[in-house]
Amino acid sequence: MQNPYSPPQSPLDLISVGENNSGGGRHITPPIGVRGWSWGAFLLSWVWAVFNKTWFGLLSLIPYVGILVALYLGVRGRELAWRNKRWESLEYFNQVQGRWSFWGVVIVVGSAAMGMIAGIAVPAYQQYVHRHGGG
């Protein structure tokens, strides 16, 4: 006979520690190590979304809506990726998301640097050509 005064069990008590519940959809509770800001999701929104099977991220291709979607993916992207795709382990998930963040920052900073170099070099070249009678 069951004790009528025993406390009810919560679903959290039933989940074993270290269980890989990735790919379980939106009704799962991601592990603590999944939460956090995602530079990869924020900076490479739609590409990151396709790889991580987070189809909501494709809305970032819509003008004016894209920045809001990118911000949302930056805040909640890691959790969405954990819920939507099956991962080998939490360590592997964090490694892959870390690489997305690294390359997102490299691509954006590199593009900005190339833009600044072009912004200085092109007018200087045009001035050089104009001064030396080339055009």
pLDDT of residue 17: 53
Low-confidence ranges of the chain (pLDDT < 50): 13-16
Tens digit of each residue's pLDDT (9 = 90 or more) over 76-89 = 999 999 999 999 99
The helix-helix angle for 90-131 and 66-84 (nearest 10°) equals 150
Q: If you ran DSSP here, which 8-state letter would residue 88 be given?
A: S
Q: What was the pLDDT predicted at 11?
A: 61
For position 100, what pLDDT does the model report?
96
* Per-residue confidence (pLDDT) for residue 133, from 0 to 100: 78
Helices (H) and strands (E) in the chain, counts: 5, 0
Kindly give, in sequence order, each residue whose CB lies less than 8 Å from that of residue 72, ignoring residues fewer than 6 positions away: none
What's the predicted TM-score (pTM) here? 0.75
Q: Please count the other Cβ atoms lying within 10 Å of the Cβ belonging to residue 124.
A: 10
What's the pLDDT at 38? 95
Name the token pair of 16. 């074993």
pLDDT at 117: 96
